[in-house]
Structure 1
Amino acid sequence: MAGVSVAAEWQLLYNRYYRKPELYQMQWKQVDLTRNKVACAPFGGPIAAIRDDAKIVQLFAESALRKLRIFTSSGRLISETVWKNPGGRLIGMSWSDDQILVCITQDGTVYSYDIHAELINTYSLGKECFESSVVECVFWGNGVVCINEAFGIFAVPDFKNHRAVKLADCNLEDLPHCIAVIEPQYTMSGNVEVLLGVGDHVLLVEEDGVQQLGVGIGPLQKMVVSRTGKLLASFTHDGRLLVISTDFSNIIFEYTSLLVILCATVYDEPIILIPECDGVRILSNTSMEFLHRVPDSTVSIFQIGSTLPAALLYDALDHFDRRSAKADENLRLIRSSLPEAVEACIDAAGYEFDISQQRTLLRAASYGQAFCSQFQREHIQEMCKTLRVLNAVRHHEIGIPLSIQQYKLLTPSVLINRLINAHNYLLALRISEYLGINQEVVIMHWACTKITESLGIPDASLLEILLHKLKICKGISYAAVAAHADKNGRRKLAAMLVEHEPHSSKQIPLLLSIGEEDTALVKATESGDTDLVYLVLFHIWQKRPSLEFFGTIQARPLARDLFINYAQCYKHEFLKDFFLSTGQLQDVAFLLWKESWELAKNPMASKGSPLHGPRVKLIEKAQHLFSETKEHTFESKAAEEHAKLLRIQHDLEVTTKQAIFVDSSISDTIRTCIVLGNHRAAMKVKTEFKVSEKRWYWLKVFALATIRDWDALEKFSKEKRPPIGYRPFVEACVDADEKGEALKYIPKLADPREKAEAYARIGMAKEAADAASQAKDGELLGRLKLTFAQNAAASSIFDTLRDRLSFQGVS
């Protein structure tokens, strides 16, 4: 009997059944669809209504003040706003794919509203639509096509970029009978195509051309393109319904249609049809219905006289509930087909809007599953989970009458986002938790909305409310909520919120943006992240006067050291100011000295007078600063001598016209002077810098040997007994491979060992042996023998002498 009552509500069209269950009795009052422009969003979305200003207002019947009102699909008012009609008559309105209400007025102005009737954006279709009023518009998912009084056709292919495109001129003399749009995603060119019913044919209009199609097929009164963009449904002037491919290559004549079903029940009130992916919703003043094809699984169970396994399983449950033995008989009949019957009951339950019917079908599936070991229990569990979500959003207080097919196409995450946008936070949170979806998006949106709407609540009280909910999600971004608070002018609340942000990388930039630089610096140094410290330093550096900035970083060692490291490389002048402000004069001096050396790398630094040039000035400044502190006497003296040396070296380069002195050492300067023959200059350097006699002798000996001035060298050796002895003279001559000159000084060597080695270096074996024997050093004789290893005669001399020394030692 249940099957009979269910199937009695179906209507047969050819070999398919259709049904039209009522989804809601509309909750609104005194809404007359004939007197309003109405836009209904798909996927059970909201309904927008505004009084049609083309209709005459009855005296005292309603307020002359027009309002844009937004309802749920169950007729519950969500929001409303006064329509100020700034752009002339409202020509059309529609919901975009992301549930933004788009309204187009006569002057070509486009207004965008969210679900709460808040104006989001306003822009114009262009000058031509402003000058020649818009008279008609056709919407699709995220775009619109408009025609103006001058018969110009304009398209906005995507509401997100607001760019209006003019299509090709059709040379129309009258408005078309009907208009349809093929969306860009379904065209070969990737651009929107517009179909115009004109005369007995159709014009296909694109941006760059017009094409005539279907000559003789019209006049057409209505056209609608299918969701796939491949088929066109059209209604002719003589009442025929045609289904045509959009390229008009194939025409199917249909003499009846779904309209037959609609007309089978007489409507005594206006209706609006809302296309869905699996049917059509029918909106009237009093109700919302859903016309759709009866699923095959439902037909298999409830069709009158059905003996299919699913129907017998459903009946078996009824018999079981009535404790009838017929239940067992039915199960035996379908035992081999039991999995198929269980699956059909589960599937049919998913298509039902009636909760009691869902429950009965799922009980039948569960009853059959108990006798079917092969069936997977998860199928029933998954369907139960899906239906719980669907039943929750279908409730008249929420008013989203999704079918199971719409739900799958929309996806749970999009549904949750739509609940969030409608401020149904509790349900969104529960569904997220139930489906295992991250709840952060729900909590974040709730928190931001709470801040916006709670202007009268004190910061401390609001913080407590927010923290109570925010702690639900681990890892939630407190910084993002704080940023929203700051954007809404609640800087104190933002500062309190950001204190709870555990991630420094999110916390610190926000602290800077709300003016909490000192707190940001503390947090950054505590994190130990040098990048974050630098971020704060640069921010404060730009905002505060130098002395205030110096005071800020001085008390924080890490920040101070990082600033110094950076400034040493890129900001010397600023770093000098910092050191001066903190009394670190020696550090300023070291910087000046370093700058003087950096300046020396510049090829232009050697030109001009260093006495008055930047290098000497820098060194003199450094010397002055060093002299201010007792601990840096050495550095002060060194800087003084460095400046003095640079002056002397510059004078030498001017005199000799050779750039070979500057930046060389004192010793090199003396040596170079002697090599150039300028002994007076060399002596001046010696005197100025108190060069010792030993050092002076070493430098002069080797300098004279370098220029091979042997007479001067010999004369120099005779001026007085050299304080360094004669060994350097010998080495200088030997190094210059002048054995004869070396012989002038070897006899003067006091140490016989040095004398022996000197003779050996110039190849005089006998003399070397005699000197070694005078030293009575057997080990020396052995080493010298190795020097003359290739000379047998010389080797024997050393052996003889060593033997003699050994004998003398024994006796």
Structure 2
Amino acid sequence: MATPAGLPPPAFGPASLSPAADFSFSAGANGSSDWQCLDSVWYRKLDVFDMEWKHERQLFDLFVVAAAPYGGPVACVRNEKVFQPAKKNIKPELQIFSARGRLLAKSPWTYSRLVTMSWNNDEVLVCVFQDGVVRTFSPQCEKLHFFSLDERIKVEGGLVQAAVGGCGIVALTAALNFYYNDAFDRSQTIVLPDTGLRGPPLSLCILPAAPCAGSDPNEKTFSWFSPSTTKLEELRIVVAAESGALLLLDRHKCVDLKLDDGPFVALSVSRSGRLLACLSSTGQLRVLSTAGIPRAIASPFLERQMRPKQVQWCGDDCLALYIPMHTPSGDVQHTLFLGGPKNEWLPFQYGTTRGGSVLLLVSEVDGLRIVTNSKTEFLHRVAASTDAVFSVGSCEPPAMLCYAVERYRAHDAAADESLRSIKQDLAEAAEACIDAATYEWQFEQAAALLQAAVFGRQFLDGGARQSCRSFVRACRDLRICYAVRQPPLEMPISVAQLRHMSLATLVRHIANRRQHLLAYRICQYVGLPARAVLASWAMEKIQHSVSLTDEELSAVVCRRLALASSESPLVLGSPPALHKEGKEKLASVLPLAKVALCAAQAGRPVLATRLTEFEVVTKEQVKMLLKLAELNIAMEKAVGSGDPDLVMQCLYSALAHEQQATGEESDLSLLIEVLHDRPLAQDLFALYCRETGQRNMLQLYYERSNRACDAGWTALTVASRQRSGEEKKKTLRRAARGFADCQTSQDLAAFAHASVLSQIDLLNYQ
């Protein structure tokens, strides 16, 4: 029997294989005793890690809490509607924690009348206030954007409800009018159609624009949803009216979905956007598919007719309802109910308190994250591959393969018998072990399953043995997940979540947390372009390096970027010292014009100009130089590129600056400086003046730039189009002066001068 090849550990950096070698599959099967069955499907709850905010006993009672999905941060701010006990620090603060409860940042909170607070798809904290103002914050509590949705909101009495979706904000005014803003950095508000509401709705939510592309439609899983490729409308809002109607609102119309059992007091959309749960005041649950026009596909019933504090989806499989129930002793029993299919429910007890809440539920694409004061748990459906390996008494091929691995390590001949019994299913067994490894949160279990897959693949035929794409992908994703779960990121993300959100999105989130080195290494590891990561690092460096001069900061930024762009570092002291090859390498790493704009916004125009010099894309370079008001340099770059459109863009900018600086009576000094010794730009300016009928400006330009002969010919053309005799004589005198200044060097000018004087005499005689 051949010895299986060694397996590199699924973690960043070298590590020993001994933990995986010591792992026992029979011991792992004992963990299945904690699984719970719901309609023939197993669920398990895993401890992710202990929380570091254990001193925050009343966090969920006294604060408005918003947790980002995919292992994102948790934001907390004082709840104005709840009485706050006096503490040492009575000034409210915005606090942002990691998913493990470690404080990332905090800042003073001087705002009031918060309507809603939530994270968007880019992990930006969006806060909507009653007066229609929107404020956004980064995971480091930095203020990003501040704007008002619409001035009409104040006239209509302010906001009473709002909802934040992945790509926009829905707001409801006191006049029961809906507004939608499809941006988080500026106001782009539209008024939605009238819904006919007679009072504020009981609940509202935004349906995602389209089904997420990261899911696998061929995956055989238990779910209410049948995979579909139907694309959804651009904007859809579900409104639960107080009258009992369930309304579907988009940009053009409002439709009543004609659902019974209303009114619905809670709405919840699954993380994938495929399912919508509607909970009525009588305990009736309606599950709707969001593809096309939402339609009911299940109607479970909750026996306890009380409004849950939280309703969240556990993947696309079932619903989780957090219900605090009062006991005869006056305490509150905190219970989490999981279920829905065929009206079966699993209870999970979380102890008793004197009141308040102790749970925060965060829906994920593959399960449910349960956050308490002491720990974080992950509740999810047991995958078929995991069930085949770890279920008690399993004789499935994956379980037999794992048993063969254990017998092989024990030098037992029974290993050969186990392998022979699954010879026909050995390839499927190895694939099942690989798939099961992606669902494991413990390194030892995942490594052991991957080693079992490698062991089984040694006995396959050549073609099947060489096919290892799924194995490589599993190792890659596991290594990334284990890396981001460690401090300082502490993102409890699973492989399924990683594949759903995409590697590029994860890298962007890591860069937003200012962990640029890890983000850059992940890009190198998976082959992603690191332009966005390097740009983020450069902008952060510029914004926070207050003590460095422009020259020092330029050298630091360019040197680091050059090290990332080539094996041989380039010495970048100043723009003239950078060779063309070095510029091309550096510009291929990141958009330097974007970094230069950041420098300009940070009050470093000299640094911005230096960085713009490195940009090899002339269009972006000229655009940035115009923003910096470096018209002379911009014109030089535009003329050097030979692009007339860029030259005209510089001309427009120069004319605009000229008018702003001197008003309508301009001396064209700035324009003369920009056009000096640039024949192409001068010709285009002359063509522009002729085509737009601004020959007077062209004549003034010729006169101020000492081009007397051209000024004379232009004045002569202007005079030929004037009807007033006095104006014509005045213009002809200017033409004569121009020809007089150059008649000694040009015979044609001398003839023109004499002709113009004759024309003036003729006009005087007339």
Within a 5 Å distance, the mapping from 1:560-709 to structure 2 comes to 595=716, 624-625=740-741, 627=743, 629=744, 631-632=745-746, 636=750, 640=754
Residue 194 in structure 1 maps to residue 239 in structure 2:
yes
Q: 2:246 aligns with which of 200, 204, 207?
A: 204
SS of residue in 2 equivalent to 1:63: coil
Q: What is aligned with 2:605?
A: 491
- Taking a change above 3 Å as real, the CA distance of residues 250 and 381 of structure 1, as seen in their structure-2 partners, is closer
Q: Which structure shows the higher helix fraction?
A: 1
Q: Which structure shows the higher strand fraction?
A: 2
- Taking a change above 3 Å as real, the CA distance of residues 622 and 585 of structure 1, as seen in their structure-2 partners, is closer
Q: 1:456 aligns with which of 540, 547, 551?
A: 547
Q: 1:123 aligns with which of 148, 156, 159?
A: 148
Partners of 1:23 and 1:330 lie apart in 2 by 34
Q: 1:328 aligns with which of 388, 392, 416?
A: 416
1:316: how far off?
1.4
Contact 1:157 1:184 in 2 (8 A): no
Q: 1:45 aligns with which of 69, 72, 97?
A: 72
Q: What is aligned with 1:715?
A: none
Contact 2:100 2:376 in 1 (8 A): yes
1:436: how far off?
1.3
1:538: how far off?
5.7
Partners of 1:572 and 1:128 lie apart in 2 by 50
Q: What is aligned with 1:263?
A: 347
Contact 2:635 2:674 in 1 (8 A): no
Residue 418 in structure 1 maps to residue 509 in structure 2:
yes
Q: What is aligned with 1:389?
A: 480
Partners of 1:231 and 1:642 lie apart in 2 by 85
Contact 2:284 2:300 in 1 (8 A): no
Within a 5 Å distance, the mapping from 1:331-410 to structure 2 comes to 331-373=419-461, 374-375=464-465, 376-410=467-501
Contact 2:695 2:714 in 1 (8 A): yes
- Taking a change above 3 Å as real, the CA distance of residues 130 and 184 of structure 1, as seen in their structure-2 partners, is farther
Residue 112 in structure 1 maps to residue 139 in structure 2:
no
Partners of 2:107 and 2:67 lie apart in 1 by 18
1:571: how far off?
6.4
Partners of 2:532 and 2:99 lie apart in 1 by 25
Q: Cα deviation per residue 1:695-720 (whole Å; 9 max; x = unaligned)?
A: xxxxxxxxxxxxxxxxxxxxxxxxxx
Q: 1:101 aligns with which of 121, 125, 144?
A: 125
Q: What is aligned with 2:39?
A: 14
Q: What is aligned with 1:278?
A: 366
Partners of 2:738 and 2:264 lie apart in 1 by 96
**RMSD of the TM alignment (CA)?**
4.4
SS of residue in 2 equivalent to 1:20: strand
Partners of 2:653 and 2:205 lie apart in 1 by 53
1:252: how far off?
3.9
- Taking a change above 3 Å as real, the CA distance of residues 548 and 285 of structure 1, as seen in their structure-2 partners, is closer
Q: What is aligned with 2:111?
A: 85
1:146: how far off?
7.0
Partners of 1:343 and 1:590 lie apart in 2 by 85
Q: Cα deviation per residue 1:573-595 (whole Å; 9 max; x = unaligned)?
A: 56656666676655556666xx3
Partners of 2:604 and 2:374 lie apart in 1 by 45
Looking at both structures, which has the greater relative contact order when contacts are Cα pairs under 8 Å and sequence separation is at least 6?
2
Matched pairs, number: 631
1:117: how far off?
2.3
* Residue identity in the other structure for 1:20: K
1:83: how far off?
1.7
Q: What is aligned with 1:64?
A: 90
What are the ranges of 5 or more consecutive residues in structure 2 without an aligned counterpart?
A: 1-25, 211-231, 305-318, 321-336, 339-344, 566-584, 659-666
Q: What is aligned with 2:277?
A: 232
1:281: how far off?
0.7
Contact 2:288 2:298 in 1 (8 A): yes
Normalising by structure 1, we get a TM-score of 0.67
Contact 1:345 1:364 in 2 (8 A): yes
Q: 1:478 aligns with which of 592, 595, 599?
A: 592
1:643: how far off?
7.5
* Residue identity in the other structure for 1:325: A
1:434: how far off?
1.4
- Taking a change above 3 Å as real, the CA distance of residues 8 and 508 of structure 1, as seen in their structure-2 partners, is same
Partners of 1:65 and 1:228 lie apart in 2 by 39
Contact 2:78 2:93 in 1 (8 A): yes
Q: 2:299 aligns with which of 232, 251, 255?
A: 251
Residue 500 in structure 1 maps to residue 500 in structure 2:
no
What are the ranges of 5 or more consecutive residues in structure 1 without an aligned counterpart?
A: 655-811
Q: 2:48 aligns with which of 23, 28, 35?
A: 23
1:363: how far off?
0.6
Contact 1:157 1:192 in 2 (8 A): no
Residue 439 in structure 1 maps to residue 466 in structure 2:
no
- Taking a change above 3 Å as real, the CA distance of residues 254 and 327 of structure 1, as seen in their structure-2 partners, is farther
Partners of 1:583 and 1:146 lie apart in 2 by 62
Residue 510 in structure 1 maps to residue 624 in structure 2:
yes
SS of residue in 1 equivalent to 2:438: helix
Partners of 1:552 and 1:94 lie apart in 2 by 50
1:19: how far off?
0.8
Q: Cα deviation per residue 1:81-134 (whole Å; 9 max; x = unaligned)?
A: 2222333xx454222333332334566655433323234224368777888686
Contact 1:143 1:155 in 2 (8 A): no
1:69: how far off?
0.8
Within a 5 Å distance, the mapping from 1:745-760 to structure 2 comes to none
Contact 2:638 2:646 in 1 (8 A): yes
- Taking a change above 3 Å as real, the CA distance of residues 519 and 308 of structure 1, as seen in their structure-2 partners, is same
Normalising by structure 2, we get a TM-score of 0.70
1:491: how far off?
1.1
- Taking a change above 3 Å as real, the CA distance of residues 324 and 235 of structure 1, as seen in their structure-2 partners, is farther
My pick for the range that moved more, 205-214 or 444-453, is 205-214
1:12: how far off?
2.2
Partners of 1:146 and 1:583 lie apart in 2 by 62
- Taking a change above 3 Å as real, the CA distance of residues 251 and 638 of structure 1, as seen in their structure-2 partners, is closer
Contact 1:25 1:287 in 2 (8 A): yes
Structure 1 or 2, whichever has the larger Rg, is: 1
* Residue identity in the other structure for 2:105: S
Partners of 1:620 and 1:424 lie apart in 2 by 71
User: Sequence identity, in percent?
Assistant: 28
* Residue identity in the other structure for 1:23: V
* Residue identity in the other structure for 2:370: I
SS of residue in 2 equivalent to 1:81: strand
Within a 5 Å distance, the mapping from 1:651-800 to structure 2 comes to none
- Taking a change above 3 Å as real, the CA distance of residues 143 and 203 of structure 1, as seen in their structure-2 partners, is farther
- Taking a change above 3 Å as real, the CA distance of residues 552 and 327 of structure 1, as seen in their structure-2 partners, is same
SS of residue in 2 equivalent to 1:263: strand
- Taking a change above 3 Å as real, the CA distance of residues 434 and 576 of structure 1, as seen in their structure-2 partners, is same
- Taking a change above 3 Å as real, the CA distance of residues 153 and 247 of structure 1, as seen in their structure-2 partners, is farther
* Residue identity in the other structure for 1:203: A
1:279: how far off?
1.4
- Taking a change above 3 Å as real, the CA distance of residues 346 and 512 of structure 1, as seen in their structure-2 partners, is same
SS of residue in 1 equivalent to 2:91: coil
Partners of 1:240 and 1:589 lie apart in 2 by 89
